[in-house]
Chains A and B, each alone.
Chain A
Amino acid sequence: MAGRERPEAVYYYGTCLVDLFYPEAGLCGIRLLEREGLRVIFPQAQTCCAQPAFNCGYHDEAREVARVQIALFPESHPIVVPSGSCAAMMKRHYPALFEGDPDLRRAQAVADRVVELTDFLVTVLRVRLTDLGDQARVTWHASCHALRDMGIDEQPKRLLAQLNNIKLVPLDRERECCGFGGTFAVREPEISAAMVEDKAADIASTGAATLVSADAGCLLNIGGRLEARGDTVRPMHIAEFLWERTRER
């Protein structure tokens, strides 16, 4: 891919779920990148990667929205996305979505430069983290699209492994879907509920104080269930978790 060497600037694509539900996590991602000496550009005209409409089969509508996104990155900087799912949409599905469209080349050029945040931190920036936080027990949920569409498995764990004061307790079923699946949670609410309940129970049984994950969709889903169960486990995006534990106070 483009830019395995360290760039001077990056674009930051926050994603709509982070924008609305986890903006602090989005900002922490920006700070992590800036701390490495990069200039981070946040195009204010960004909206949504268009995955919801794409997954539901509404490809004309998805293309209209995607067309706005692919115009946001005129320079050749990498496009860093704090979500494996949205990154997969842009990297893997934009070229197919624009097949036969005059904007195909532009879509492909964007796809080529999209990189998920933890992957970028580990593979390109090779960040070194110093844990300044208290002793803590945490667990990790692997998001499906990061894992299977983007091949991101070890990267986030390598970041967490650099934090000396945390104990990472693995889930029994770390790789099993939490049941979010975008509109799946609304179209098949009962199965989705059964899946997220199993995930929440798995998390609760680890005794962890914090659930770390790298996708806002999973966090929203699992966090909502944990709260409804009355569990005190705190769901946290990995960007926020890393920043909070390593920032100078």
Chain B
Amino acid sequence: MSVEGSPAFRPEAVRALCDSQLRANFRRAMDGLVAKRAAVFTDPIEWRELRALGASLRAGAIARLPELLEELERNCVGNGIRVHWAETTQEANAVVLAILREHGASRVVKGKSMVSEEMHLNEFLEHHGVESLESDLGEYIIQLDGETPSHIIMPAIHKNKGQIARLFGQKIRDARYTEDVDELTAIARRVLRRKFFEADAGISGVNFAVAQTGTLCLVENEGNGRMSTHVPPLHIALMGIEKVVERLEDVPPLYSLLTRSATGQMITTYFNMITGPRGPEEKDGPLEVHLVILDNERSRIYADVELAATLRCIRCGACMNHCPVYSRVGGHAYQAVYPGPIGKILTPQTEGLDRRHDLLHASSLCGACVEVCPVEIPITELLIRLRKEATHADPRSPVRGAGGGRRRLEDLAWRLWATAHRNSRLYRLAGLAATRLRHFLPARLPPLSAWTSTRATPRPAPRTLHELAREKGVPDA
């Protein structure tokens, strides 16, 4: 059964739907991203071939996850990167804090990292007396406002420039009120510049970790990633176990798929390849580099051949940009670190079906996400698979909280449905009843009332196709 006190998507989605400013912000932003992506994938054959390559590279890496992770560790260590393993987010937080304490570090600048969002790292560090400042502009904005990201690539996409102008005016000392985007960026830049130089440590995410060379690749546009990882004397990189790729040659196609799918860029402004701490002859770079590799339920997903496709994700966000549900309610309604279509399949697996089966139904199964996924994750198929796991309490299920979305009334409804539809005489009788009683449907009662609240009452035809076909002499066999 469902866990009490679990987040629920529907009430939050309803709230978002009523917020016309939020809806306008998202719709405009998503339309822009959709158009930008379309402009860089104009050749359908190139797109088909590149995404097939991307899918096979990611699927191949996930299939060999344990050995690639060992290889990654070996080569990172060889490069002078210290590697730490964390099974849970609590463990990962503890590892980060221990490293910071060892260095007496109390001021941290952060590059963008969704794994750190999984860990609720900022909150944890603040609680332990460490200042942790987001340096990605979008992340900086939402940190100022005490919010969580509403999109995995553009965390502050739910805000328009007027809202950001007011926020900066209130929260940043000496900041003059302006709605000019360049001026707003300059204000944030001035604050962040100083912080980069004062910081004792930088924390970043990882986009691709190359097993064969022990290289950590970081994709970004603002230069804050490079500043966070190169200016402070200590760099801690965070990654989920799925981020590993086999060879350096695998990176260019995946990088191209990532940036084109995410923001419609052929290439980002910065692409960082981190291969270790500052060498003896080098004048800059951190003195120590640590890599924290987090599981957080991913190995459970890896264990199921079909569900493992979830781990192919390269976090481009194209699925949310194209989702008719996400583009109407925004990211916060999902109440999950990863919103949108990828979040709908990932969150119930990491947090348990008993807690988050609600997300499985936040989809019309339209498949717009699948159409644009650069690594061919069959999101709608996995949603259906997870719906099955959620409604059947099979003790052998590989998914946490299996059966947690089961309702006796629904079980009964589908049993009745099956009885009516496997017996063609019963089905035709029901059709006869529905057509003859077509003016007496209980339109005001659930579940039909959910339909008729915004639509005219559906009226069955006077006679079914079965009847018409027989009458017109259409042969039965």
Smallest CB-CB A-B distances: 7 pairs: A181-B364, A224-B455, A57-B387, A177-B366, A57-B388, A227-B456, A61-B418
Chain A hits for B431, CB < 8 A: 19-20
Query: Bound complex: CA of A54 vs CA of B380, how far in Å?
Result: 12
Whether B476 pairs with A20 at a CB distance below 8 angstroms is no
Query: Bound complex: CA of A147 vs CA of B474, how far in Å?
Result: 30
Whether A61 pairs with B414 at a CB distance below 8 angstroms is yes
Query: Bound complex: CA of A176 vs CA of B423, how far in Å?
Result: 36
Whether B367 pairs with A65 at a CB distance below 8 angstroms is no
The reply on B185 being an interface residue by CB < 8 A is no
Whether A193 pairs with B453 at a CB distance below 8 angstroms is yes
Query: Bound complex: CA of A147 vs CA of B380, how far in Å?
Result: 14
Whether A190 pairs with B367 at a CB distance below 8 angstroms is no
The reply on B93 being an interface residue by CB < 8 A is no
Whether A176 pairs with B424 at a CB distance below 8 angstroms is no
Residues of A49-106 whose CB lies within 8 A of B = 50, 52-59, 61-62, 64-65, 67-68
Whether A20 pairs with B435 at a CB distance below 8 angstroms is yes
Contact of B424 among A44, A145, A223, A224 (CB under 8 A): A44
Q: Given A21-B460, A44-B424, A144-B368, are A53 and B418 also a contact pair (CB < 8 Å)?
A: yes
Whether A148 pairs with B328 at a CB distance below 8 angstroms is no
Contact with A along B372-410 (1 / 0, CB 8 A): 000000000000111111111000000000000000001
Query: Bound complex: CA of A125 vs CA of B273, how far in Å?
Result: 57
- Classify the interface of chain B: helix, strand, loop or mixed: helix
Q: Given A21-B460, A179-B324, are A64 and B422 also a contact pair (CB < 8 Å)?
A: yes
The reply on B470 being an interface residue by CB < 8 A is yes
B: contact size bracket: 35 or more
Nearest chain A CB to B241 CB, angstrom units? 28
Whether B465 pairs with A57 at a CB distance below 8 angstroms is no
Contact of B455 among A57, A68, A228 (CB under 8 A): A228
The reply on B463 being an interface residue by CB < 8 A is yes
Q: Given A14-B465, A58-B391, are A43 and B451 also a contact pair (CB < 8 Å)?
A: no
Nearest chain A CB to B205 CB, angstrom units? 31
Chain B hits for A147, CB < 8 A: 367
Point out which of A18, A55, A145 has the most chain B C-beta atoms below 10 A from its C-beta.
A55
Chain A hits for B424, CB < 8 A: 44-47, 68
Q: Determine, out of B10-18, B57-65, B100-108, the stretch whose residues face the partner at the interface.
A: B10-18
Contact of A186 among B365, B451, B461, B463 (CB under 8 A): B451
Whether A53 pairs with B414 at a CB distance below 8 angstroms is yes
Residues of B within 8 A of A (CB): 10, 13-14, 17, 324-325, 328-329, 361-368, 370-371, 384-392, 410, 414-415, 417-418, 420-424, 427-428, 431, 434-435, 447, 450-461, 463-470, 472, 474-477
Whether A228 pairs with B477 at a CB distance below 8 angstroms is no
Whether B465 pairs with A184 at a CB distance below 8 angstroms is no
Contact with B along A208-225 (1 / 0, CB 8 A): 000000000000110111
Whether B422 pairs with A41 at a CB distance below 8 angstroms is no
Nearest chain B CB to A234 CB, angstrom units? 13
A-B contact count (CB 8 A): 201
Chain A hits for B421, CB < 8 A: 16, 47-48, 50, 65, 68
Told that A41-B477, A55-B365, A185-B451 touch, could you supply 14 new A-B pairs with CB distance under 8 A? A14-B466, A20-B431, A20-B434, A24-B468, A27-B472, A47-B421, A57-B392, A64-B418, A176-B324, A188-B10, A189-B450, A193-B453, A195-B364, A228-B454
Q: Given A21-B460, A43-B477, A192-B364, are A197 and B468 also a contact pair (CB < 8 Å)?
A: no
Q: Which residue of A lies closest to B333 (CB)?
A: A191
Whether A27 pairs with B469 at a CB distance below 8 angstroms is yes
Query: Bound complex: CA of A4 vs CA of B14, how far in Å?
Result: 48
Nearest chain A CB to B305 CB, angstrom units? 13
The reply on A136 being an interface residue by CB < 8 A is no
Nearest chain B CB to A40 CB, angstrom units? 6
Whether B422 pairs with A47 at a CB distance below 8 angstroms is yes
Nearest chain A CB to B471 CB, angstrom units? 10
Chain B hits for A221, CB < 8 A: 455
